[in-house]
Structures are given as structure tokens and as C-alpha cells.
Amino acid sequence: MSTIREVGKRAGVSVATVSRVLNNKGYVHEDTRKAVTLAIKELDYKPNSVARSLSKKTSKTIGFLIPDITNPFFPQLVRAVEDVMYPAGYTTMLFNSDENLLHELEYIEGMTSKYIDGFIIASNTLQWEHLKGLHVPVVALDRAMDERISSVTIDNYEGSKKAIKYMIDRGCRQIAHIEGPPHVFTSMERKRAYLDSMNDHKLPVLLQQGQYEIEQGMVSTMKILSEHPEVDGIFAGNDVMAIGALKAASKLGIKVPEELSVMGFDGVKWGTLVTPELTTMQQPIYYMGQRAAELLLDRIQNVHSKVEHHQLHAELKVRQSVR
Amino acid sequence: MSTIREVGKRAGVSVATVSRVLNNKGYVHEDTRKAVTLAIKELDYKPNSVARSLSKKTSKTIGFLIPDITNPFFPQLVRAVEDVMYPAGYTTMLFNSDENLLHELEYIEGMTSKYIDGFIIASNTLQWEHLKGLHVPVVALDRAMDERISSVTIDNYEGSKKAIKYMIDRGCRQIAHIEGPPHVFTSMERKRAYLDSMNDHKLPVLLQQGQYEIEQGMVSTMKILSEHPEVDGIFAGNDVMAIGALKAASKLGIKVPEELSVMGFDGVKWGTLVTPELTTMQQPIYYMGQRAAELLLDRIQNVHSKVEHHQLHAELKVRQSVR
DNA sequence: TTGTAGGCGTTATCAT
DNA sequence: ATGATAACGCCTACAA
């Protein structure tokens, strides 16, 4: 690896000049520029990012915190973020936190000492208090965090209400809800919508705790159906649990959608692979990641950019699991 | 952010001493150590990783190249790698290359200028020639690359032979194979096993090109079944395509496994969610990631560690899609 | 046991 | 238009 110094020597100029041509900054005579460019080519010189970072206090890197890449919702998000960040010259560091606050704080601290340029946070445990000390922009993804932190979310409440309304329209009268994990933003919103809907329509409430995982969807459904055979519809907290519900129904010999309707939320790809295909609320997952990345980029590059909150919408995807 | 210099001043010692206690290196009197530790606490000093990197030419970071996180095989791999790297003090940078050589080379170059400590490569385009110039260890994952590069693979050939033998044992006589992408290591091995098996058993060969994607699995299956209705078994290049095959059969009203057997390869989680559940060759996916990470760590930390090739085995998972 | 000082590779401020 | 040189924050001979 050659250094800027060697390039300078070879081109017969000082490091300052080389730096100037490297960064297109300040005046430099056309001839010298050519000489320097040539020397760079000849030596196959590549600027050292670390040295550059130390000097500029920036790393062209962003951190992306997610709960768990193994949950099928996140790969698309990750892909989207990388797809906008990389062409913009930024590399993104992924971190699976399992919603563990300590790990997240540790990670953020580590990244800070690397002069990271910003964060996208799609996990739910971090709050404004933990982040306010940071001197870099943050955008919350798939959750609202605080007025002062940019966010990209979908309207989970509205989406859930639509989903449930559809179930009711299709004749469901005993709708149970499998909740997502307790302190997760999307989970709370969806539950709230369920409760309000049941209340509005004077329908009975039947809640079952879940975990955004297939097994939980199965277990919860088993429990619901054995204890409340009258249930004719399940509004699952997300697609993964809905798929678990389908699985459970099939194991119990209960026909979906004839005897039981199942509604998911998310619109992950796998929803079309199960039988029957999952009726669900489709989120613009990739687009959410894209927007979050663009927002962050703007906050990083444009001093005047301000906090923004983007609220997107989920769309009913009628397939086969609701009668 | 305070610096080592400020800590030194506060503790009444030089930066060298602070550095010594920071790194537990060299002699330092117990009292001074205490004083320094106190100063560190008081100032809430955190070492600056970038400065450290510049000085030590190491970044405690590794790069992980995969084709596409959106393929359900990779999230588990990524998770496994991170799960061993992070506790060891290394952060991992993910890169989705879509098997694009130029992007991969560009990425590697960028990472090199960041003093990256090593790479795990799970994509198929990079070859020894591209990597031999690197001064950091590399391990190939899910593919063999070269004798000189450590690797963690499973025996795709043996596994595929097992899979096909099982299909034949179960009575299949007209087995088609949906190939994975042309230049992908796993894909070539599986195809080779298919061809050899057909030859060994004097059975007819029927190949169809595919792409490791659901849609391709569907399309290829449609094509196979319409042109060769006599086919009674499909050995798909991977699970994702096998799921596509299931989907296609269902659309065509062909019963699996009664009229058509479908065999996958990989053992991704979603194989149990489709109906019928997918019979497949289960790879120890998480373990592969783990081993690769451990191998790399060893190469990084232990000067004497040598190139190693780990060959693991896939296991037949009998479920419902083969009669 | 501790301190001084040079080096890691770039950027950026002053002079010239 | 170009060159010296001091940062950036840390590590590590080498001296003391």
C-alpha cells in the first residue's frame, strides 16, 4: 500500500497538492493535476480510509440496529437500506440486538468511537434518552420513537382496523387476537386497534400473548381453539404468527377459511406459499427501508435538513385465509 | 469526547502510562493504575477506535460477502457469524453482492483501506486470483474456492446422491432436476450428483435451468410437467425452488406426493410451513456460519493457524413431499 | 516504573 | 498555485 507521501514524491509535489487533487479542492494547475493522477495510477495508490476518518471525524459508515435478521420481515429492510447507502458511498453495519438494551448501548458506544455517521434503528428498546447524547443523526424505522427523532413507520392502527373490519364484513363474530411481544411498538398499535374495533362493534375480546414467531403462533392458536372453540377468526399480530396459526388449524383438522378465518399483518413473501395463501395487510417493506435510508442520508449530508416523520400505509391483500 | 491526553493530565501521568493501563501492557505501579482508572471513569473516557486502527493497522472488523440476504438461506448464516464475532470483539460488515464481481472487488478494496481484519465469502464469483493480493485471512463459506483458502462446506454431492437414492427407493423413475444458477458451486455439485445418479440407475435425464428463486421453481416445474407429464419426481436445486415446484403442482392440480414427489435441498425453516411439508436435505446452516467465523477468528488471532477445510454433511429430512 | 517523541496516513491552515 | 506543518488520537520504541 502506497501513501500520499509516495505519490507526492513520485509526482514531484507535496502531499498537500496530492490531497488537493484527490479531493478536488483548492487550486491546482492542470499540468500538476495530470502528473499527480499519473503517479496515482502508477503506484496504484488508494487513499487510506482510516487515516481519512481520523482527520475528518467521519467514516462513511452507518449503523443499522434490528432485532433479528432471522425474522423474515428484516432481510428486505436490510437489503433496501444497503441498496441506497452503498451507491451513496456509505457502508452499513448491521447489528442484531434481540431487543437487548445493554447490547444496543454497547454497540452504539462502539460505533461512536468509530466515527459512525448515523444510525437507523428498527428495534424497540432504545429511547430518546439513550440517544440524545449522540452527535449524529438517527432515524427510527418501523417504530415511532420521539418527536425529535426522524421516523418511517406505517400506520399500524389504521391498518389493523381495516384488517379487522374486513374480517367482520366477511362474517367473523368471534375474533381472537394473538398479540406480538409486549413492548414492541407495532405490536401495541395493532392490539389497540383490535381492542377498539371489538369495542366499536360490541364483539367479545379474546387476547392471547404471542412473540412474533411461528411456534408462538401455533401454540397460541392451539390454546385459543381448545379453550374457545366458538372462535371463528384470528387476527394475528404478524404474518409469521398467522402462518403458525394456519399450521395449528391444520393440525387440529380445522378448515381455513371455512371454519376459521386467519388474518396476518406484514405481507412477507412467504404468505403466498402456505396453503391456504395468507390474507394479510401488506406493508411496503422495501420502500420503508429505502425511505429511512434516504432520510438518514439527507440528515447526514444536508446541514439544514430537519426531523421528518413519514407515515406510510398498509394495504389489504385479499388471498385465501379469510372466508 | 475526551482523549488519552486529558486522562493523562487529570491523573498526573503521561499518555504512555494511560495507554499502558488501557491495554494492560508493560509495567505500571498499582497506585498509578488506580489513579488512571479513576480519571478514566471521571472523564467517561472511551478509546477512539479510529486512532487505534490507524496506529495498529487493524480494525476489529470483518467483512462478510453474501449473494443476497433476501434468500432465506443467508439470514441464519449471518446470524451465526455475528453471534461468534461480536462477543470476540469483532463487528461484521455485511455486503450483498448479487454475485457481481465488480461490486465485490470494489467492496474488498474499500474494506482493505479500512484495515479490515478478514473476510468470509459466501458468494461464488470471487476466485483465488482476486484474493491472493490481500494480506488478511479469508474463509470461503458454502463453497470451495481453492486449496489455499480455508473453507466450510457441506458435501453437496454426497447429500444429493442420498436425496435421489431416497426418491428412487420410494419408487420414482422419471426424476427431473431443476438446476440452480450455472456458476454457483453448490448448484454444480448437486447437478453432478443428479447426472451420476441417473446414469448409475439407468434412468432418463431431464434437466431444467433454474435460479434459486421461488418463481424459477414454479416456472421450471410448469415447463417440466407440461412437456413431460410422465415425470414422477422433481429434485430441486434448493428448497426455495422446491417450494416453487410445490406451488406449481398445486396450481396444475397435480397431487404431491401421490402423483409427483418433490425433494428440496437446504432445510430452510419455511420447508415445514408449506403443504405438504417439504422433504429435503437438511444442512447445518447455523453451524456452518459458526464454524466459518471460528475458523476466521483463529486465522486472525493465531499466527500459526493454518488453512483448514471443513466438510460437513447434510441429512435427509423425511417429511411429506416425497411419496 | 514512567516519560518523551516519532509514527500511522490524511486533511487543512497558513504562508509563500 | 504550491509547500510546510500542525492537527486527528493512539501506540510504542527508547530513554531515563
CATH number at residue B259: 3.40.50.2300
Q: Are B77 and B186 in contact (CB under 8 A)?
A: no
State the DSSP H helix or E strand holding residue B144, giving kind and residue range, or none if neither: none
Terminal alpha carbon distance of chain B: 66
Minimum Cα–Cα distance from A277: chain B residue: B274
CATH of the domain at A29: 1.10.260.40
CA distance B211 to chain A (A): 17
pLDDT digits (tens, 9 = 90+) for B62-103: 999 999 999 999 999 999 999 999 999 999 999 999 999 999
Q: Do A65 and A145 lie in a common domain? A: yes
Q: What is the predicted pLDDT for the residue at B1?
A: 85
In whole angstroms, C8 C1' to B98 CA is 35
| Residue A12 located in a structural domain | yes
Minimum Cα–Cα distance from A115: chain B residue: B50
| Residue A320 located in a structural domain | no
Give the domain extent around A268. 156-283
Closest residue (CA) to C1' of nucleotide C8 is B55
Amino acid at B33: R
Q: What is the predicted pLDDT for the residue at A1?
A: 86
Q: What is the predicted pLDDT for the residue at B293?
A: 98
Task: Note the residue count of chain B.
Answer: 323
Closest residue (CA) to C1' of nucleotide C12 is A16
* Interface contact A113-B275, CB threshold 8 A: no
* Interface contact A75-B79, CB threshold 8 A: no
* Interface contact A79-B70, CB threshold 8 A: yes
In whole angstroms, C11 C1' to A201 CA is 66
Q: What is the mean pLDDT of residues A151-169?
A: 98
Model confidence at A296: pLDDT above 90: yes
Q: What is the predicted pLDDT for the residue at A10?
A: 96
| Residue A56 located in a structural domain | no
| Residue A323 located in a structural domain | no
| Residue A208 located in a structural domain | yes
| Residue B323 located in a structural domain | no
Minimum Cα–Cα distance from B213: chain A residue: A269
Which residues of B fall within a CB distance of 8 Å from A79? 68-70, 96
Integer Cα distance of A25 and A285 in angstroms: 40
3-state secondary structure of A300: helix
| Residue A52 located in a structural domain | no
Q: Across-strand partners of A138? A: A119
What's the total number of domains in chain B?
3
Q: What is the predicted pLDDT for the residue at A278?
A: 98
Q: Do B126 and B190 lie in a common domain? A: no
Using CB atoms, which residue from A47, A86, A115 is nearest to B50?
A115
Mean pLDDT of chain B: 97
Q: Do B290 and B277 lie in a common domain? A: no
**Using alpha carbons only, what angle is made at residue A166 by residues B274 and A73, rounded to the nearest 5 degrees?**
45
Q: Do A104 and A245 lie in a common domain? A: no
- pLDDT band with cut points at 50, 70 and 90 for residue B321: very high
Residue whose C-alpha cell reads 392471547 in the numeric block: A208
